[in-house]
Amino acid sequence: MNISLPHISWQVVILSLVVLFLIAAVFFGFRSGQALAQAERISQQKKQVEIALGYFYSDQGRFPSTVEFLDRGAFGLYIDSFPVPQVLSSECAKSLQYQANSSKEYSLTLCSPAAASGVLKGITKVTSH
């Protein structure tokens, strides 16, 4: 008994490889664009939080405590988007975290899936001066 396999031309093989390559390129391009968009949102949030912290300091003569940062009646009065929304990604559980080091000093810890203006990929720590 003779079993014959269908003849596959080299054009079909090349076309299949090109299609697979294009699918992979679109998928990875989408993921890269999504990470960059998330990083830009985190960068904008950082700027908004820093401005609001400046206003709080100007009014109160100090930075908010870590508890006040999360309080709508305290820090929430100084920023439009409260609470500050987290930008979730597979790399980061939290995109922005505030810590009051003292009444005159704070630190922001940022986690970003990509680099953007003022934000590095991964963990970035920003402190007040």
The CATH number given to whatever domain includes residue 21 is 3.30.700
Residue 39 lies in a domain: yes
> Residue 58 domain-assigned?
yes
pLDDT in the model for residue 91:
76
The pLDDT value given to residue 5: 55
Q: Are 50 and 128 in contact (CB under 8 A)?
A: no
Number of structural domains (the chain) is: 1
1 located within any domain: no
Consecutive 10-residue averages of pLDDT for the chain (129 residues): 65 74 61 81 90 95 94 90 79 87 93 86 86
The answer to the question of residue 18 being in a domain is yes
Query: Which pLDDT score is estimated for 32?
Result: 64
Q: What is the pLDDT of residue 118?
A: 79
Single-letter code of the amino acid located at 16 = S
> Is the bond preceding 64 in cis, omega lying within 30 degrees of 0?
no
pLDDT recorded at residue 90: 76
Q: Tell me, what's the pLDDT at 100?
A: 94
3 within a domain of the structure (yes/no): no
State the pTM of this model. Answer: 0.71
- Residue 13 token pair: 């093989």
Flag whether 81 is in a domain: yes
Q: State residue 89's pLDDT score.
A: 77
How many angstroms separate the Cα of 15 from the Cα of each of 2, 11, 21, 26?
30, 6, 10, 17
In a domain? residue 50? yes
Residue 4 inside a domain? The answer is no
d(CA 113, CA 123): 9
The residue range of the domain holding 112 is: 10-127
> Residue 34 has what pLDDT?
82
